[in-house]
Structure 1
């Protein structure tokens, strides 16, 4: 048997399921908000999580590091949480409080001091919160950087589009949720294809076009064609569909590309770190969105959203450049052993 490799194909199947869930999520959430209460958005997750736990316990096989003991370094976790929270606070409140406000400067100073302290603590802790040694693997670190930047653009645009439909086009919560549904549906349909293509060609061959498609949707469609007058079919829908193509090609493939260069024994921790980069991208993306959008007047709202789409097109383009640096080779099926021909005079015994 040759070395084990993580295939992108199965990951794409899970990505399709995630895309379908993402498509139904906004619509279900809008129904709960409109007809029940916003609190139900949180309560509805309880039975879903219980179902996932029961189903996962039956079909998933858990692996453990037999040499691992104790819990990850608590001080490292605190340092990382404080540093990232302070950075998000400074970005979000900067436009409102003023970039020279002592509170904003203090938040950025806390982040600037907290991140190096976290790295130092992690290097010398007996049980570090994050295994920084994995970042020495080039393709893994590049894929995590690509995940960070693409997640920034994805989560910022997801929130921006919902708010745009309600504030500029003055659509209801439910109508806005239905309007953004085609994008996740396309992403769910594309994800399995992305996994198969990554297996056959390479992760990079899928990731770069995906990130470019997302950037093009922001730059060439949302920021230039969508105006204050609603034209859903001709202007919004093509942009949403192209965004879905970009998400389907990129998001799940980035996850598999990150850990594909790691040994099988490190898949678990490698995937967890990659998920952390995705969540960090969500925090930073929403923070940047709030800072770029500001508090525009009714007359300037359209220009403010155009500015957001331009910025996120640049962030997605940066993700495409990072993805071009991923050097993982496509999955190669293991050859099946061939029967050896019998030597002349040899006796063959059937078992």
Structure 2
């Protein structure tokens, strides 16, 4: 792999790491932000939700715009918006300012993330180099959420919550400078005047309303008129979007992309897997703080082994295994390993010992480092060059939908079980732990469903494994 390509890979990975980190870095800082800015408990959820709604709602639009006007242009614009919004968030003095800044961060993240994977796929055309590049790129996504909790705890305790946002500013500026020097210029298809404006409006509004309905479930409940109304309106808008794509001359999301069994299956598996894994990260952090009494920094350090395990596997192991056995086989193995860890959590005691009850799980989630590189390769495998931005945007959209659904559904189930037990007179710690155990059992069910879809939908790759000499080359390039 040449130096320019290494630099481009570093730029794409750094930008992706920032956006993934920003989705989770605030979780351990929420109590400090609530206290200083005067958020209500319900209002503080919007520190996370505003980011998720903008990010998830604009990914498809960002991906298609990248195909039309140029992916490098969209990548640079997205990183510029993200860096500016991070400065705004770090300087916020009122809840409204912080929520507005978080929404703008989501906008910038969506436009940059939507095209990053498309740039990578078109830049690395050699099979060996692409395998390694996807492994490195997936490392940032797989380990980013866990690293966000660690970094969030350290920064909050050492410097204050403002720095969880301000740290993005210098990183963002360096990323933009390096991107200008390393990413290839592309003109796009130059058909922005014929872009599907109606389709963009329908899908953006539909996704935003859908994610809004999901993230508000914990507050209003699944059967509330508000939840059902927004959910129904979201489905109507998305159905209208699909109908529009079948008739538009220049559709935002050509439906031909779903003809690929592999692309469709990989996105479904990813949504199920991320629903379980992001909820795992959030709920374990809450268990450590609310039940075991850990501080923010202690919570981050307790989650550190998971970040190290996931990062190490995705960076140093996944590329060789994918090249040797194929992505489908590696994906199955990763799902089985992570499922074992989730089942372990269903027996979580009230007074857990970290070394025996939690550390083994932090090691087992290393399987996630196998899952994401394999899914990334599979999710992009059926896209032609002209649709690389679209496939990238779709892949990132299913990530965000999965994360939002997982946190909303599993948190709601855990809270409902806890509330029922508290009403029956059960002690607070026991009621909380029982709620978390239920959530982890449902997460195990989601991972089982992902495994079933993998076995039933994703077909084995029709290709020979790399020869030993090429495997050695993959390993050397990865290092």
Aligned counterpart, 1:231:
353
Matched, 1:252 2:252: no
Classify the secondary structure of the residue corresponding to 1:300.
Answer: helix
Classify the secondary structure of the residue corresponding to 1:294.
Answer: helix
Matched, 1:213 2:328: no
User: Are the aligned partners of 1:258 and 1:270 in contact in 2 as well (CA < 8 Å)?
Assistant: yes
Matched, 1:199 2:323: yes
Matched, 1:302 2:433: yes
In structure 2, C-alpha distance between the alignment counterparts of 1:162 and 1:57, rounded to whole Å: 38
| Rg comparison, structure with higher value | 1
The ranges of structure 1 where at least 4 consecutive aligned residues each deviate by more than 6 angstroms after the TM superposition are 331-334
Aligned counterpart, 2:395:
274
Measured after TM superposition, the shift of residue 124 of structure 1 is 2.6
Aligned counterpart, 1:340:
none
Measured after TM superposition, the shift of residue 254 of structure 1 is 0.5
Aligned counterpart, 2:255:
132
Aligned counterpart, 1:179:
302
Measured after TM superposition, the shift of residue 51 of structure 1 is 2.0
Choose 89-98 or 299-308, whichever is displaced more.
89-98
Classify the secondary structure of the residue corresponding to 1:279.
Answer: helix
In structure 1, C-alpha distance between the alignment counterparts of 2:258 and 2:178, rounded to whole Å: 33
Q: Deviations over 1:105-159 (max 9, x none)?
A: 2122212312211211222334433232111111111111111111211211111
What count of residue pairs does the alignment treat as equivalent?
329
Aligned counterpart, 2:32:
none
In structure 2, C-alpha distance between the alignment counterparts of 1:100 and 1:272, rounded to whole Å: 31
In structure 1, C-alpha distance between the alignment counterparts of 2:289 and 2:411, rounded to whole Å: 16
Measured after TM superposition, the shift of residue 179 of structure 1 is 0.4
In structure 2, the CA distance between the partners of 1:279 and 1:99, relative to structure 1 (3 Å rule), is: closer
In structure 1, C-alpha distance between the alignment counterparts of 2:194 and 2:164, rounded to whole Å: 32
In structure 2, the CA distance between the partners of 1:83 and 1:263, relative to structure 1 (3 Å rule), is: closer
Which runs of 5 or more structure 2 residues have no equivalent in the other structure?
1-124, 423-427, 468-479
Name the structure where helix makes up a greater proportion of residues: 2
Measured after TM superposition, the shift of residue 190 of structure 1 is 0.8
Which structure has the higher relative contact order (CA within 8 Å, separation 6+)? Answer: 1
User: Are the aligned partners of 1:218 and 1:239 in contact in 2 as well (CA < 8 Å)?
Assistant: yes
Matched, 1:314 2:445: yes
In structure 2, the CA distance between the partners of 1:123 and 1:42, relative to structure 1 (3 Å rule), is: farther
In structure 2, C-alpha distance between the alignment counterparts of 1:64 and 1:331, rounded to whole Å: 36
Choose 321-330 or 230-239, whichever is displaced more.
321-330
User: Are the aligned partners of 2:142 and 2:372 in contact in 1 as well (CA < 8 Å)?
Assistant: no
In structure 2, the CA distance between the partners of 1:284 and 1:261, relative to structure 1 (3 Å rule), is: same
Matched, 1:150 2:284: no
In structure 2, the CA distance between the partners of 1:235 and 1:81, relative to structure 1 (3 Å rule), is: same
Q: Deviations over 1:246-300 (max 9, x none)?
A: 2101012211111123334443332222122112212222221232222635241
Aligned counterpart, 2:102:
none
User: Are the aligned partners of 2:269 and 2:454 in contact in 1 as well (CA < 8 Å)?
Assistant: yes
In structure 2, C-alpha distance between the alignment counterparts of 1:174 and 1:237, rounded to whole Å: 17
Measured after TM superposition, the shift of residue 20 of structure 1 is 5.6
In structure 2, the CA distance between the partners of 1:126 and 1:24, relative to structure 1 (3 Å rule), is: same
Aligned counterpart, 2:410:
289
In structure 1, C-alpha distance between the alignment counterparts of 2:353 and 2:401, rounded to whole Å: 34
Q: Deviations over 1:168-210 (max 9, x none)?
A: 1111011001101111211111113212211222111100111
In structure 1, C-alpha distance between the alignment counterparts of 2:145 and 2:220, rounded to whole Å: 34
- C-alpha RMSD over aligned residues: 2.6
In structure 1, C-alpha distance between the alignment counterparts of 2:393 and 2:244, rounded to whole Å: 19
Aligned counterpart, 1:36:
159
Classify the secondary structure of the residue corresponding to 1:171.
Answer: coil
In structure 2, the CA distance between the partners of 1:317 and 1:187, relative to structure 1 (3 Å rule), is: same
Instruction: Normalising by structure 1, report the TM-score.
Output: 0.84
Matched, 1:162 2:285: yes
In structure 2, the CA distance between the partners of 1:48 and 1:81, relative to structure 1 (3 Å rule), is: same
